[in-house]
Structure 1
Amino acid sequence: MNLANLASRLDNIAPFHVMELAKMAAALEQQGRHIIHMGIGEPDFTAPPLVVAAATQAMNDGKMQYTSATGLPALRAAISDHYRSVYGLEITPSRIVVTAGASAALLLACAALVEKGAEVLMPDPSYPCNRHFVAAFDGVAQMIASGPEQRFQLSDEAVRLHWSAATRGVLLASPSNPTGTSILPDELAKILATVREKNGFAIVDEIYQGLTYDAQPFSALSLSDDVIVINSFSKYFNMTGWRLGWLVLPEKLVPQIEKLAQNLFICASSIAQHAALACFEPASLAIYEERKAEFKRRRDFLVPELIALGFKVPVIPDGAFYIYADCSALADDADHLVKGIMQEVGVSVVSGLDFGAFTAPNYIRLSYATSMENLQEAVRRLRKFFGKEDV
């Protein structure tokens, strides 16, 4: 194969440094080191018993054939009921498309909406794969510096200021990876109004919306029928490896997304879909709410401990399971710092390098999707690293 024939768009896809640090951690573990993993955003909880049992039953019953490209009708109806019970919203099942994870949902949305040269506005910092989905369809992710004053999120003012003739829409996440911060409802309403005024599109990633701690869960769907919302069974529902998510779309866009899904994916995993029906059983929902409370307990433990170590946490995360901490008082280079922490005391965290140039030198992201015992030990090790206790 002549590598010179590779598509030029690959030049716009950067490596995922989080995964490179995971490889470094794995190498240290092979040497016999004990590593506390606070780098990758994956819940330490797994699917509840009813979900596992539903998957087993589906396999025993032979329910392993293709489903419709839009998903099992029963699952689409269950998701619709979930919006009614949690958010008080009437979202018809026909607007819901079940996907092979939130990643497939983002890919389908970008395939439908992003053309060559089209600019999509998103905050810096933000989840790196989002800008790469745009680049995969030859669009341009226009990263807008968004500091703690904006809760690390786009503001309506920033959207208006940066909207150009090439701009086609915005891609937001609330709560966000890496910051755990949400867009305030009033600000989101202004942004969506501006996008509508500009005749653009708005994609809102809500995969962490179920893990909102300090206010009632809030969906962009309550503000507009034109917004495209992405969600997932990975985070709140603890089904990361099952690869299952969904899109909520304007009705007129569903046939176009269905056409793309038929060609690109055929359908999401049928077994995962049958299993996910059990996510909405009262016993499963009770477990999820207990786990959500545990995530909040971990956040409330870790934030003050980091501040005591000398980090700044300028915006307390209100969702997800991340803390985005300013390390500028402790180090000149966040990436150098996280590698030193891993090598010296065996705690794996990540720098802002993946999430955008604006915050990369000065911020680290810590995931508290691990046990309280691990978090307590990580704090002890960090105290040792920073010379905050006698050892």
Structure 2
Amino acid sequence: MSLNELASRLNNIAPFHVMELAKKAAVLEKQGRHIIHMGIGEPDFTAPPAVVEAATRAMADGKMQYTSATGLPQLRQAISDHYRSVYGLDIAPERIVVTAGASAALLLACAALVEKGAQVLMPDPSYPCNRHFVAAFEGQAKLIASGPEHRFQLSAQMVREHWNEATRGVLLASPSNPTGTSILPEELRAIVAEVRARRGFTIVDEIYQGLSYEGTPFSALSLGEDVVVINSFSKYFNMTGWRLGWLVLPPALVPQIEKLAQNLFICASSIAQHAGVACFSPESIAIYEERKAEFKRRRDYIVPALESLGFKVPVVPDGAFYVYADCSALSDDADQLTIDMLNEAGVVLVPGLDFGPFTARRYIRLSYATSMENLQEAVARLRTFFASRKVA
């Protein structure tokens, strides 16, 4: 096939630089180098015993057939019960659609809501795949520059100022990748009100909501049934490779999403779904909460450690497992700095290039989803790395 015959939408999908750095790191590892990975956002914890046992039992019992496109009833009910126990929200299980990861959830939401030429507002910086989901359906992700004064998030004022006749909605993430910052509840309430007044849609990615370290647990679902929320078993529940997530939808949207899911995915992995039910057992939740406390401990170590190296952390992350650090006092090119840190110090960090042009050259993202020992070793290596640059 000639490249000229490929769909033009591919021109709107940029390479994912974090994966390119991971490839370079793999080459160095093959050469015998020890590399500390703080690039990819993947928990170093795996599924707890009860979850693994549930998957094993499902396979042994032959429970591997297709499920309904909306998911196992018992899993939808377990998710509903979780919203009640953690957030105090009554979310009918019929509004919950189980998906093949949060990526499938975003794909389905954009397939249902994004028309050709539709503009969707989101902050710069934001997770690159989110804007690519919009582009995949020939919409336009309009990135709005958002600095530390706005916690790297959209505000209601930004929505008012940037909404135009082509705008159809907003796509938010709270807590956010790459920044680990949440939208404050009162601000999110104001954003939803602005969008609602314009008869638009609000999609909120809450895949890191379980890893919120400050304040009372809050979900955008408390703001009304018209808010579409996406969540995942990958982050808080430590099931990245299991490819399991969910959508919470307005009741009227459920049949339409179900129709799309039937045609695009049939269903999420049945084995992963049976395992997912066990995530909500008391023993599993206790393990997840211990791990959450460990992530917070790592955050509380790495933020001051980065500042001691010369980075600035203008907003301390209140969730997820990322730090978005200003490296402008150390380099005027975050991309080149991350390459140098990999080659010379054996430490993988990610430049802001992936997350939007506004912060591309000034910021780097660090993932602290690795052991405390690795974090301490990385800081020691980077201290030596920056000291040698000063000498040179």
Alignment partners' CA distance in 2, 1:225 and 1:188:
15
In the alignment, does 2:269 pair up with 1:269? Answer: yes
User: How far apart are residue 2 of structure 1 and its match?
Assistant: 2.6
Amino acid at match of 1:291: R
Alignment partners' CA distance in 1, 2:192 and 2:390:
53
- Secondary structure of 1:32's partner? coil
Alignment partners' CA distance in 2, 1:4 and 1:228:
37
Alignment partners' CA distance in 2, 1:66 and 1:217:
34
User: What pairs with 1:190-205 in structure 2 (closer than 5 Å)?
Assistant: 190-205=190-205
Match of 2:355?
Answer: 355
Alignment partners' CA distance in 2, 1:327 and 1:99:
38
Match of 1:89?
Answer: 89
Match of 2:185?
Answer: 185
User: What pairs with 1:117-196 in structure 2 (closer than 5 Å)?
Assistant: 117-196=117-196
Work out whether residues 384 and 390 of structure 1, in 8 Å CA contact, stay in contact via their aligned partners in 2.
no
Alignment partners' CA distance in 1, 2:78 and 2:284:
14
User: How far apart are residue 389 of structure 1 and its match?
Assistant: 12
Match of 2:305?
Answer: 305
Match of 2:101?
Answer: 101
Work out whether residues 383 and 389 of structure 1, in 8 Å CA contact, stay in contact via their aligned partners in 2.
no
Match of 1:319?
Answer: 319
Q: What whole-Å deviation, never above 9, does each CA across 1:307-326 have from its counterpart, x for those lacking one?
A: 11111000000000000000
User: What pairs with 1:214-293 in structure 2 (closer than 5 Å)?
Assistant: 214-293=214-293
Amino acid at match of 2:6: L
- Secondary structure of 2:32's partner? coil
- Secondary structure of 1:210's partner? helix
Number of matched pairs:
391
User: How far apart are residue 390 of structure 1 and its match?
Assistant: 12
Match of 2:57?
Answer: 57
Alignment partners' CA distance in 2, 1:42 and 1:198:
37
Alignment partners' CA distance in 1, 2:284 and 2:216:
20
Match of 1:12?
Answer: 12
User: How far apart are residue 4 of structure 1 and its match?
Assistant: 1.1
Alignment partners' CA distance in 2, 1:280 and 1:222:
21
Alignment partners' CA distance in 2, 1:161 and 1:388:
47
Match of 1:80?
Answer: 80
Q: What whole-Å deviation, never above 9, does each CA across 1:20-77 have from its counterpart, x for those lacking one?
A: 0000000000000000000000000000000000000000000000000000000000
Amino acid at match of 1:170: V
Match of 1:207?
Answer: 207
User: How far apart are residue 5 of structure 1 and its match?
Assistant: 1.3
Work out whether residues 209 and 319 of structure 1, in 8 Å CA contact, stay in contact via their aligned partners in 2.
yes
Amino acid at match of 1:199: R
In the alignment, does 2:113 pair up with 1:113? Answer: yes
- Secondary structure of 1:273's partner? helix
Match of 1:24?
Answer: 24
Work out whether residues 116 and 138 of structure 1, in 8 Å CA contact, stay in contact via their aligned partners in 2.
yes
Gaps of 5+ in 1: none
User: How far apart are residue 119 of structure 1 and its match?
Assistant: 0.1
Alignment partners' CA distance in 2, 1:78 and 1:300:
32
Amino acid at match of 1:385: F
Amino acid at match of 2:374: N
User: How far apart are residue 214 of structure 1 and its match?
Assistant: 1.3
Amino acid at match of 1:149: E
Match of 1:66?
Answer: 66
- 4+ residue stretches of structure 1 with deviation over 3 A? 388-391
Amino acid at match of 1:121: L
- Secondary structure of 2:231's partner? strand
Alignment partners' CA distance in 2, 1:296 and 1:74:
31
Work out whether residues 309 and 388 of structure 1, in 8 Å CA contact, stay in contact via their aligned partners in 2.
no
Alignment partners' CA distance in 1, 2:143 and 2:376:
36
Alignment partners' CA distance in 2, 1:390 and 1:284:
48
Gaps of 5+ in 2: none
Amino acid at match of 1:165: E
Calculate the aligned-residue CA RMSD, in Å: 1.2
Q: What whole-Å deviation, never above 9, does each CA across 1:89-110 have from its counterpart, x for those lacking one?
A: 0000000000000000000000
User: How far apart are residue 3 of structure 1 and its match?
Assistant: 2.1
Alignment partners' CA distance in 1, 2:150 and 2:224:
22
TM-score (norm 1): 0.99
Match of 2:365?
Answer: 365
Q: What whole-Å deviation, never above 9, does each CA across 1:172-198 have from its counterpart, x for those lacking one?
A: 000000000000000000000000000
